[in-house]
Amino acid sequence: MTFRDLNLSTQLLNALDDLGYEIPTPIQEQSFSVVMSGKDVVGIAQTGTGKTYAYMLPILRMLRYSVQQNPRVLVLVPTRELVVQVVDEIEKLSTYINVRITGVYGGTNINTQKQTVAQGLDIIVATPGRLYDLAVSRALQLKSIQKLVIDEVDVMMDLGFLHQLMNIFDILPQQRQNIMFSATMTEEVEDIISEIFVNPKKVSIAKSGTPLENIKQGLYSTANFYTKVNLLEHLLANEEEFQKVLLFVANKRMADRLFERFERTFSEQCAVIHSNKTQNYRLRSIEQFESGEQRILIATDVMARGLDIDDISHVINVDTPTYPENYMHRIGRTGRAQKQGVSLILVTEQEEESVENIEALMEMKIERFDFPDRVEISTELTPEEQPKIKEIYNPTKRPKDEETGAAFHEKKEKNRKVNLGGKYKREIKKKYKKPKTRGDKNYNKKRKRK
Ligand code: AMP
């Protein structure tokens, strides 16, 4: 398939020609008709897959020329670098179309941006905070937004933008198309999808980019998290084989928990990265892992995205990703540059179903390895693994008909006051003994007579 097979305009085709792009990338091919259909879209794709054009080509194809002041397309991205990059990409595509594009981001003079916005625009690319500020100050009207794109949602969630996004959704027109791109799927990303999307269509590129033949995949069935830790300690003790190991975990909590446990066994050989660690800490951890100074790196999906490290001997999935795409991204970190890599996945009973989904996506089975006899099966459970105890006796819940006695604490003096109405009324009442209202002739008369 070439770009000519898509329903593109001559102007867009000419711009693509200038760029030297003939063939749509898989995500571009898949997204085009879905975005064109006007339905909500969730795309799972990493940077470098051509995802910007995957949403921008159909959007530009649909955008009609207009002289109206207010933007019709809003693209939200997590960082200023990305604003600049996305604006640049859109500009390249729109060489032959009359479209006004502006990028806005925090940390720069808002007044200059207000002036730019005031000149009228069609597409605005923004970081959430600055966009909200501009909208609240009334410099920017969002009432004409027809298409909302949220790019790199996983990074946005990781940077704590949820609240700001929610504020923005509140001031956008209800009738609009939502398009979202994320490299990884996390619980937070799922939450936001269920919050704002209506029956979204999913497009994703399943392939990790690395031929699966280069990766030997294996699976261990394990009882629980701490049994996984025991197994890891057993496996990683073999330094000769496990030379450069990237361990994936589902979240920060798990990363810290694992790192803490490893202190007793691999403290000098292990680093960790997740979004609660400072940028410097993360950079140092990555450097140490890359240089070989440290053999083991624990990472969450989002954090590992930017990693470009060769020669990883093993990827170990400490948890089983619910989204098979995440698994593909993870294992694609090994077996690169024609080298052989190994990927292991540690699975509890609850995670079996996710393994089936992964296998269905890859159209192949992962080899089952025997659980080593020497590894102890732990009975310790993480807070998440502990069974939810049904409340049999809850002292704070009282049966309805039980008599209620005095509260345990006496109320403080100031809280004991009864609301007597406004202060003014009370003062008047004190003065005249009963409330005096204007025009109460009889009352006034009576007083005079006295
Ligand atoms: P992105 O994933 O959007 O960050 O894009 C990664 C890079 O691929 C960008 O520099 C694009 O200009 C480039 N690109 C996008 N689409 C294509 C294509 N169909 N063929 C070749 N390169 C492309």
Kindly report the pTM of this predicted structure.
0.65
Distance CA 285, CA 307 (A): 11
Boundaries of domain holding 272:
215-368
Query: Residue 450, Cβ neighbours under 10 Å: how many?
Result: 5
How far is ligand 1, taken at its centre, from the CA of residue 50, in Å? 4
Which pLDDT value is given to residue 450? 44
How far is ligand 1, taken at its centre, from the CA of residue 117, in Å? 28
Distance CA 351, CA 359 (A): 13
Residues 318, 232: contact at Cβ < 8 Å? yes
What is the distance, to the nearest Å, from the Cα of residue 398 to the centroid of all Cα atoms in its chain? 41
Are residues 179 and 61 both part of a single domain?
yes
Q: Is residue 398 part of a domain?
A: no
Give the N- to C-terminal CA distance of the chain in Å, as an integer: 103
**Phi, psi of 101, deg, nearest 5:** -120, 135
Which pLDDT value is given to residue 138? 93
Going by CA atoms, what residue is nearest to atom 14 of ligand 1?
50
Cβ-Cβ contacts under 8 Å for 323 (sequence gap 6 or more) = 44, 184, 185
Return the bridge partners of 181, or none. Answer: 43, 151
Least Cα distance to 404 among 396, 415, 412, 394 occurs for 396
Residues 74, 149: contact at Cβ < 8 Å? yes
Question: Which CATH number is 328's domain given?
Answer: 3.40.50.300
How far is ligand 1, taken at its centre, from the CA of residue 30, in Å? 15
Which residues surround ligand 1 with Cβ inside 6 Å?
21, 23-25, 28, 47-53, 89
Q: Is residue 58 part of a domain?
A: yes
Distance CA 318, CA 304 (A): 14
For a substitution probing ligand 1, which of 2, 4, 21, 86 has the most ligand atoms within 8 Å of its CB?
A: 21
How far is ligand 1, taken at its centre, from the CA of residue 103, in Å? 20
Q: Which of 368, 401, 429 is the last residue of a domain?
A: 368
Residues 84, 127: contact at Cβ < 8 Å? no
Are residues 245 and 199 both part of a single domain?
no
- pLDDT in single tens digits along all 450 residues of the chain: 899 999 999 999 999 999 999 999 889 999 999 999 999 999 988 777 889 999 999 999 999 988 899 999 999 999 988 999 999 999 999 999 999 999 999 989 999 999 999 999 999 999 999 999 999 999 999 999 999 999 999 889 888 899 999 999 999 999 999 999 998 888 888 888 988 898 999 898 765 445 677 899 999 999 999 999 999 999 999 999 999 999 999 999 999 999 999 998 998 899 998 888 888 888 899 899 999 999 999 999 887 776 778 789 999 999 999 888 889 888 988 877 667 899 999 999 999 999 999 998 888 899 999 999 999 999 999 999 988 776 666 666 655 544 455 555 555 665 665 655 566 666 656 665 554 555 555 555 555 554
Record the tokens describing residue 425, joined without a space: 């009324």
Are residues 28 and 99 both part of a single domain?
yes
- Number of domain units in the chain: 2
Q: Is 59 helix (H, G, I), strand (E, B) or coil?
A: helix
Atom of ligand 1 nearest to the CA of 52: 3
